[in-house]
Amino acid sequence: MMLKIRFRFVLIILLLGAMGYTIYYFVQRQKFMNLIVPEFSKITLIKANLHSDTAFIEVDGIVINKAPYGMSIDSIVCELSLDGTQLVSTSQYVGLRLESGQSDSVQFSVNIPISHTRNKIQSLQGQDSTGVVLEAAIVYSGFKLPFVKSKKIEVPVPPQFKLIKTEKKELNLFKKELEVDLFLGIINDGKNLSLDIHDLQYELSIGNDLTTKGKFGKDISLRPQTSQVLKFPLDIKMKQPLKTIFKVLKDEDRLPFRLMISGYLDVGKMQRIPTVIFASGKLEIVNEQKKKAKKKAKREKKKEERQDRREGRKEARQEKREDRKKE
């Protein structure tokens, strides 16, 4: 009898515990998640290195253990899908030990395929909404805790960047300086994406000869379905101006470049997140289309000159014939 009573008592306790667990999970899901997953409270840095067709992104942040016990996290596994297409898949060692109430810094890196992601987003532009699925797992001392989160979101519409024009202000070969104003248009046709950047700075180097750096004088605040034209004053330093000019004349001006843009980004409730973006590749000092246009104009000019010479010789022969007839 004592055994049966104890068994019923344990069974009731288990049932009450299961009910409490269920209510707790559905009513206070976020607080429940904080018991098994540290809260990501603050982003301290976003660093992106754009190289070839991949964005190498590092995110530094602060996590807090709000559980009443310590946590040891070995690694994190993450997969992100958009409309059924996997965009990101990564597994990263964390090695984090947090006591109850303790906070620590953590770094998470991910590689995003640029063209694959862009093409997927562009293919969805005719739809109003799509599904995004995050599948993640946290490994605690060899034990894997998976969880899946899916959500219906509005189809993102990425901002369009358009180079409107460049205006040469001054060329000083003695000081080896070239001042250029670059006008860049940003068009945001989306309904749910806002862009806020503060204290924007940039550094650009082209080959071993051309360098420029500066600050954008005002904050950029681009609301959904709006556009802006930004004016960037570029003060380009030239180490060997004559050598650069000869490269352009010889059509050897396709040079490697490296661009760094830094500033503070606003994302939702998180304000002034330090952000650094690196980009590298190759570019031409003089646009290829302009070169072709100049070459075509040069050919047309030579053709006209040859035609003028032929017409001149023809007129000269005609005049000689008329002179012979008069004699």
Please say whether the beta carbons of 285 and 236 come within 8 A. no
- Establish if 51 belongs to a structural domain: yes
Query: In this structure, is residue 303 part of a structural domain?
Result: no
pLDDT tens digits, residue range 86-120?
A: 877 778 787 888 888 888 887 878 777 777 777 77
Angle, alpha carbons 49-186-192 (nearest 5°)? 85
Q: How does pLDDT run across 118-166, given as a tens digit for each residue?
A: 777 777 766 766 776 666 677 766 667 676 666 676 666 666 667 677 6
User: Do 195 and 282 have their domain in common?
Assistant: yes
Give me the domain span that covers residue 106: 37-154
Distance CA 81, CA 87 (A): 5
| Predicted TM-score of the model (pTM) | 0.56
pLDDT tens profile 156-181: 666 666 767 767 677 777 778 878 78
CATH code of the domain in which 106 resides: 2.60.40.10
Q: Rg of the Cα trace of the chain?
A: 32
Residues 144 and 88 in one domain: yes
* Residues 149 and 166 both lie in one domain: no
Strands of 83-225 (E only): list them.
85-98, 103-113, 129-140, 143-154, 160-172, 177-188, 195-206, 210-215, 220-222
Contact 76, 138 (CB under 8 A): yes
Residue finishing a domain among 125, 154, 183: 154
Residues 82 and 118 in one domain: yes
Choose one of 133, 154, 175: the last residue of a domain.
154
pLDDT beneath 50: ranges in the chain: 1-16, 18-28
If asked whether residues 189 and 79 sit together in one domain, one would say no
Which residues are 183's β-sheet partners? 165, 231
Distance CA 163, CA 278 (A): 19
Which is it for strands 71-82 and 85-98: parallel, antiparallel or unpaired?
Answer: antiparallel
Same domain assignment for residues 115 and 205: no
Phi–psi pair at 207, nearest 5 degrees: 60, -145
Q: What is the pLDDT of residue 11?
A: 47
Q: Is 201 inside a domain boundary?
A: yes
Our count of domains for the chain comes to 2
- Residue 43 and residue 55: Cα distance in Å, rounded? 19
On whether residue 199 sits in a domain, the answer given is yes
Residues 131 and 195 in one domain: no
Measured distance CA(66)–CA(103) in Å, rounded? 9
Q: CATH code at 195?
A: 2.60.40
Per-residue pLDDT at 7: 43
* One domain, residues 79 and 189: no
